[in-house]
Amino acid sequence: MGRPKDQLTPYSLKKILVTYPRSTQDQLMTKGHELSLQKQSLTLSLNRSVFRFTQFFNRIAVEKEDDIRIMHFGYQSSQGFLMNVLSIAISEIELKTQEKSLTNYLRSAGALGDFVPWIPPVSERPIHVCNLINMSRTGSVGEIVLHNFSRRMAKEVEEKASIEAIGIALLRSRTDLQKHLIRLLFSK
């Protein structure tokens, strides 16, 4: 039997073009009496070799905090011990730019399996940030790659310039959890 074919989101390329509203303050630009939404396109170079965090997880939760989604990734041992939790926030604006890609990936990944809701324990821990969610799968193992770039720097770069998106996290789990994460991120 041959090697399983890797399934990737379009964001798994070395360089990607992202279009999004420049910032909340810059979204509406006046032209006479008309209002228009100004968008910016930029090329991101994805750092694919260094990640601040690498982790296997078997528990997920997503919280909505105003226009931010906070993703919690945890690993609970078979004896019930919580070994680690990583929390990462992404804005709804940034999620919206990736909705088509991620939902297409979800459709191609097959039916959703069972899901057991999880509430992460209350503790003091940092909540990291990301702008981009990339996914792939090989067989029953799913991979989530999270990158971040400065929106301020993106605002300042010229149209043809490129900025680097740093690797925040490389996460692995069963593909079912990956699929449920997409479902939770886009649920109302």
pLDDT in tens, 71-103: 999 999 999 999 999 999 999 999 998 999 999
Band (50; pLDDT cuts 50, 70, 90):
confident
Sketch the domain layout of the chain as residue ranges: 51-152+165-186
Residue of 84, 90, 89, 69 lying closest to 121 (CA atoms):
84
In DSSP notation, 80-126 reads S-EEEEEEEEEEHHHHHHHHHHHHHHHHHT-S--------PPP----
Q: Alpha-carbon distance 176 to 106, whole Å?
A: 10
What CA–CA distance (Å, rounded) separates 83 from 138? Answer: 25
pTM for the structure as a whole: 0.76
